[in-house]
Amino acid sequence: MKTVSSHLTNLLNSIPELPGIYKMLNSKGNIIYIGKSKCLKKRVKSYFANTPKWEKVTKMVSFIHDIDYVVTDTHLEARLLECELIKLHQPVFNSQLKNDNRYVYLKIENNVNYSPLSIVRERGENTLGPFRSYHTLSDAIDSLKNIYPISKIKRTYTFDYHILPVLMNEEIFHNNLSILKEILSSEKKLSKLISQAEKKMKEAASIYRYETASFYRDLIRGLQYINHGISGYQTLLSKDIILKIPVQNGFKLFWVSKGMIHLRQNYNTLNHNDINKFIMLGQALPSVTLKEQNEKSYIDFRDILYSEIMSLSEDMVIILDNTSKVSRQNLIL
């Protein structure tokens, strides 16, 4: 371990082996970094190792004068608290979760003088999202330009790869636009388009047209990104969900509604009667509507909650549908 002050040494030795968040402070008491861990002691001590993994850590450690931490019952709560505090304090050494304004929306354009799809910073008419990555969304839009115009024969979408985008007259533009609106309005229909692209990728590879196959591979990734951004959290946002997570002294129940945690409660022991009472408490809560101005900020909390739910075992997640229990598989894309 690197040479550290006696004050920091005592702090490092006193940090518990529990989940939570930690805050690195400089000599002026300003928070310079916020992190989280399933084991606070192990994670915080790693910053003072002789050979840190990242150059940023080496630079940051020289500024650390004090360390503060908050113990949480679960890793889920640690991740959510970390996200909240980073947005609040904007620590200089944190690069993720700070800037909500980087999130963007996919806009469907009606003007023939524009590309059918564009990227905008604010929600408006005919917008979808928000999406986390401007560049990933931009790449997806650019790939789509090379398969326009998209047609529909019976229930099948048809298209071809063009090295250069095809110039569309007004009639073809609006036909293509109508089909795009249809595709983007339904996860099932967007999945059909992805399936068609997968077939074309395999066909191109089978006749050694690897450049074309590579294009379709990138197109598929872009379409999957759009699909996830539009439909990936439908169950999380539309269902009431109970999480049953083991903690140090028993269990903790979480009531999730509209993709947000509204109620949490600890139990030393847990039985079906306790769960049913918890359901009644959750269902009695007033309905909460997400404000549009908080939508971009909320996407980080939503992603955290979604990823944690998907990491939990089947018996730890109860999805309610008209008071009946539903398998966690409803969350899987």
Residue 53 has which token pair?
């993994």
Q: In angstroms, rounded to a whole number, what is the distance separating the alpha carbons of residues 36 and 77?
A: 10
| CA terminus-to-terminus distance, the chain | 44
Residue of 147, 154, 148, 271 whose CA lies nearest to 215: 147
Q: What is the pLDDT of residues 85-129, one digit of tens each?
A: 999 999 999 987 766 667 889 999 988 778 899 999 888 888 888
Q: Say what percent of the chain tops pLDDT 90.
A: 61
Please answer whether residues 118 and 60 qualify as being in contact, where contact means their C-beta atoms are separated by less than 8 angstroms.
no
Q: Domain map of the chain by residue range?
A: 6-97, 102-231, 236-331
The model scores a pTM over 0.75: no
Q: What is the pLDDT of residue 159?
A: 96
Residue of 19, 34, 33, 31 whose CA lies nearest to 71: 19
Residue 12 has which token pair?
């490092």
User: Edge-to-edge strands of the sheet including 127-131?
Assistant: 117-120, 104-108, 127-131
> For residue 132, what are the CA distances in angstroms to 78, 129, 149, 207?
22, 9, 27, 36
Return the half-sphere exposure (C-beta side, CA atoms, 13 A cut-off) of residue 33. Answer: 18
Omega before 130 cis (within 30°)?
yes
> Mean pLDDT over residues 234-254, rounded?
88
Q: What is the pLDDT of residue 289?
A: 61
Reduced to 3 states, what is the DSSP secondary structure of residue 212?
Answer: helix
Confidence band for 329, pLDDT divided at 50, 70 and 90 = very low
Q: What is the pLDDT of residues 215-241, one digit of tens each?
A: 999 999 999 999 988 876 666 777 899
For residue 35, the tally of other CB atoms under 10 A from its CB is 21
Given a cut of 70, is residue 211 above it in pLDDT? yes
Q: In angstroms, rounded to a whole number, what is the distance separating the alpha carbons of residues 43 and 52?
A: 12
Within 8 A by CB and 6+ apart from 81, the residues are 20, 21, 36, 70, 72
Given a cut of 70, is residue 290 above it in pLDDT? no
Place of tokens 């931490």: 69
Residue 10 has which token pair?
């005592």
Place of tokens 């983007």: 184
Within 8 A by CB and 6+ apart from 12, the residues are 4, 41, 44, 45, 48, 67
β-pairing, 317-321 vs 151-153, is: unpaired
Superfamily assignment of 6-97 in CATH? GIY-YIG endonuclease (3.40.1440.10)
